[in-house]
């Protein structure tokens, strides 16, 4: 099989786009990605979206976007797996090209949180948990993450403000990313004084819901146009895994099985081990998720993921740079687009186009997109071809 490569990337600024709609956001990212890919025309469109049927009263996004982007006629479908919708769209695009049935696939993630305000957003987010056994009792993703964090702090005797390193790193990396929602570095005191959302989870332990769209053009290596001039990045590994939807059904809620399984499969396919990975774009909607992913993949032993962040090892010069363009914490969390932004960020790093945020000699990236508390995990290994 020929390599499946990422020929084009595109993204909009992440933030609050009150003045434009879902289709406008999507189109902006698509335009950039198609241009970046030397004008390759896609045959299939895979849309990653998490909540538009509730947030924007809009389903059938595949056609909505294909129509608006002037791509009428092509295959178009939406992929949903809660917060992992972007990762799921990338994986389906990858499978389509790998099958040989589709030459050029366009993967787009899009979300518009500002189409709803107030408790409507929490109600929409709660549809991603178990409606009959969790949401009905008032559980939201943030309150669930807080319970998980509390248990982690208790079991592993994490000192006060032990999780600060995740937010500090993300915000430091967001400064130079012109598409990030927050471009201001924060100090340890800022984290320490932050307003509590759901004890022990504070404002800086969670990513802000935001609007945004990111796009990728996938193709086979032999189909690249002569106009393509970037260092080439291939998808070397792709895998997804599921766990119980409800946290209370887990044997060990402090270990993200799906993060381990999906990353393990993707690394096996790529013939790599975790020591080969130059950067890790984790799914840091909550700092506790970031810690648990570092442990699941193997970068830290159980109970020590937070320490890696506290010790500065996830910084751009650390042993395993994470959230290198600001992550979901500082770039913002545009729902079903988040997993596609991870891929865009990783490609920028692997092409050596990250400027102030460049991870030195980055060749291999792991990206991981989560739905719920790792009820879904989708992992991809992206690799620069020299």
Site residues, its own copies (CB under 8 A): 1, 21, 44-45, 50-51, 53-54, 56-64, 66-67, 71-82, 88, 91-92, 95-96, 98-102, 123, 126-132, 135, 238-246, 249, 257-258, 261, 371-372, 375-376
Helix, strand, or coil here: 293?
Answer: helix
244/276 with CB nearer its own copies:
244
Measure Cα distances from 53 to 28, 46, 56 in Å.
Answer: 21, 17, 6
Measure Cα distances from 55 to 113, 120, 255 in Å.
Answer: 6, 8, 31
Is residue 332 within 8 Å of 368, Cβ to Cβ? no
Q: How far is the CB of 92 from its own copies (least distance, A)?
A: 6
Q: How far is the CB of 75 from its own copies (least distance, A)?
A: 4
What distance lies between CA 285 and its chain's CA centroid?
9
Is residue 38 within 8 Å of 226, Cβ to Cβ? yes
b/e map 47-63, b = 16+ CB within 10 Å? bbbbbbbbbbebeebbb
Residue showing tokens 């895998």: 239
133/188 with CB nearer its own copies:
133
Name the CA dihedral angle for 366, 23, 57, 344, rounded to a multiple of 10 degrees: 10
Q: HSE-up of 130 (CA within 13 Å, CB side)?
A: 14
200/372 with CB nearer its own copies:
372
Helix, strand, or coil here: 382?
Answer: strand
190/242 with CB nearer its own copies:
242
Is the Cα dihedral 260, 266, 269, 272 positive or negative? negative
Q: How far is the CB of 77 from its own copies (least distance, A)?
A: 5
Q: How far is the CB of 344 from its own copies (least distance, A)?
A: 21
Q: How far is the CB of 177 from its own copies (least distance, A)?
A: 29
Q: How far is the CB of 71 from its own copies (least distance, A)?
A: 8
62/208 with CB nearer its own copies:
62
Cβ neighbours around 74 below 10 Å, total: 18
104/246 with CB nearer its own copies:
246
Residue showing tokens 């020590």: 304
16/257 with CB nearer its own copies:
257
Q: How far is the CB of 336 from its own copies (least distance, A)?
A: 10
Is residue 106 within 8 Å of 216, Cβ to Cβ? yes
- The partner residues of 234 in beta bridges, in order of sequence, read 5, 383
Cβ neighbours around 356 below 10 Å, total: 9
246/350 with CB nearer its own copies:
246
Q: How far is the CB of 63 from its own copies (least distance, A)?
A: 5
Q: How far is the CB of 96 from its own copies (least distance, A)?
A: 5
241/349 with CB nearer its own copies:
241
Rounded Cα distance between 79 and 290, Å, is 24
80/313 with CB nearer its own copies:
80
Q: How far is the CB of 324 from its own copies (least distance, A)?
A: 27
Residue showing tokens 């927050």: 182
Rounded Cα distance between 174 and 181, Å, is 8
- Relative orientation angle of helices 338-351 and 85-98, to the nearest 10 degrees: 60
């Amino acid at each position: 099989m020929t390599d499946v490569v990422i020929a084009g990337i595109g993204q909009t600024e992440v933030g609050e786009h009150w003045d434009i709609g879902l289709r406008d956001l999507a189109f902006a990212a698509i335009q950039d990605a198609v241009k970046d890919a030397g004008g390759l025309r896609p045959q299939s469109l895979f849309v990653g979206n998490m909540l538009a049927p509730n947030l924007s009263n809009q389903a059938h996004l595949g056609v909505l976007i294909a129509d608006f982007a002037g791509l009428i006629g092509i295959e178009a479908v939406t992929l949903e797996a809660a917060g992992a919708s972007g990762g799921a769209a990338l994986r389906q695009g990858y499978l389509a090209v790998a099958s040989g049935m589709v030459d050029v696939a366009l993967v787009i993630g899009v979300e518009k949180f500002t189409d709803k305000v107030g408790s409507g957003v929490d109600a929409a987010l709660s549809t991603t948990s178990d409606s009959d056994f969790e949401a009905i009792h008032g559980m939201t993703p943030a309150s669930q993450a807080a319970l998980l964090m509390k248990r982690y702090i208790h079991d592993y005797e994490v000192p006060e403000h032990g999780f600060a390193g995740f937010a500090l790193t993300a915000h430091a990396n967001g400064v130079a990313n012109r598409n990030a929602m927050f471009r201001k570095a924060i100090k340890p005191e800022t984290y320490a004084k932050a307003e509590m959302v759901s004890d022990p989870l504070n404002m800086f332990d969670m990513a802000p819901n935001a609007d945004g769209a990111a796009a990728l053009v996938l193709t086979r290596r032999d189909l690249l146009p002569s106009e393509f001039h970037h260092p080439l990045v291939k998808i070397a590994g792709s895998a997804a895994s599921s766990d119980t939807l409800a946290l209370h059904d887990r044997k060990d809620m402090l270990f993200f099985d799906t993060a381990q399984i999906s990353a393990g499969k993707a690394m096996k396919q790529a013939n790599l081990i975790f020591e080969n990975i130059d950067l890790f774009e984790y799914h840091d909607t909550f700092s506790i998720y970031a810690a648990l992913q570092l442990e699941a993949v193997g970068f830290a032993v159980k109970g020590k993921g937070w320490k890696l962040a506290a010790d500065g090892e996830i910084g751009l010069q650390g042993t395993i740079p994470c959230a290198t363009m600001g992550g979901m914490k500082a770039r913002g969390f545009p729902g079903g687009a988040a997993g596609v932004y991870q891929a865009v960020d990783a490609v920028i790093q692997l092409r050596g186009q990250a400027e102030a945020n460049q991870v030195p000699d980055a060749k291999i990236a792991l990206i991981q997109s989560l739905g719920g508390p790792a009820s879904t995990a989708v992992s991809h290994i992206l690799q620069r071809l020299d």
